[in-house]
Amino acid sequence: MVGFVTKLNQILAVEKGVKSDVQRKVTDAYHQIQKAPLLSGLSRTYQPIDDEGEQLPPESTRVQVQVDEVLKGVGAALTRLFDVTATKDWANCEARASVKIDGVALIEDVPVTYLLFLEKQLADVHTLVSKLPTLDPAETWSRDEATDTWRTDPVKTTRTKKVPRNHVLAAATDKHPAQVQVYNEDVVVGYWTKVSFSGALPQRRVNELLARVEKLRDAVKYAREEANGTQIVERKVGEKVFAYLFGQSGRE
């Protein structure tokens, strides 16, 4: 059974409120039918044995809660929830939009539920890309085809070794030996040639990837809004369900 034409975003806007309202009403109903005194009533009158006996007033207690009425109320509340949810779920099968980048459809006719999935996944991808390691900006990097990594220009440095030397403070005479001071001198004994390699990415590449993710994420959001604006037909299923569940059996 169908009803009026509406839009998916209008159904989504009321769904949360309907759910909370129904939950409250069903909870209240449950608590009502657990209170036995509210379901019970009585009426009694007193008659003395003879006319001279004590006269007592009649007593009565009205039934405050009738289970049938409680079920009607629960059925009415749940009918609204069933109808809203049915309308949303049927609409989710029909509401579609294309994800477009610069006016060109990247993915065509995407269901709104998959657009929601894409949006969440792209948020995770954005987090991953934003944490990618980048090359040290203090170095000059170039692509090394042999290792398929990035490399720096060679840097040549010296390797030194301490060699002991003698410094004559006073020359020897026929009366005194020479006064000599021993010291160490750093002498170049070889050369290091250093080349650094890295598997990280240039910052400009990371920035480019982030821009792409953000552009696609925005496109998915636009598509979701477009899909949510699709005209849909309200579904009426709750009345049938609760007419069957809580309706009279015909044998009472």
Q: What is the pLDDT along the chain (252 residues), one digit of tens a residue?
A: 555 667 888 888 888 899 999 999 999 998 888 888 887 888 888 888 888 888 889 888 888 888 888 889 999 999 999 999 998 888 888 899 999 999 999 999 999 999 999 999 999 999 999 999 999 999 999 999 999 999 999 999 999 999 888 777 777 777 778 787 888 888 888 999 999 999 999 999 999 999 999 999 999 999 999 998 888 888 899 999 998 888 876 444
For the whole model, what pTM was predicted? 0.67
Identify whether 180 is part of a domain. yes
Query: How far apart are the two ends of the chain, measured CA to CA in Å?
Result: 29
- Both 10 and 127 in a single domain? no
Dig out the tokens for 141 from the structure.
């990097």
Strand partners, 228: none
Contact 62, 41 (CB under 8 A): yes
Sequence-distant (≥ 6) Cβ neighbours of residue 105 within 8 angstroms: 98, 99
- Whether residues 107 and 220 fall in one domain: yes
Tokens of 29: 């109903």
Does residue 40 sit within a domain? yes
Residues 54 and 116 occupy one common structural domain? no
**Are residues 180 and 217 located together in one domain of the fold?**
no
Q: Which domain, by its residues, includes 220? A: 103-141+200-228
Are 181 and 164 in contact by the 8 Å Cβ rule? The answer is no
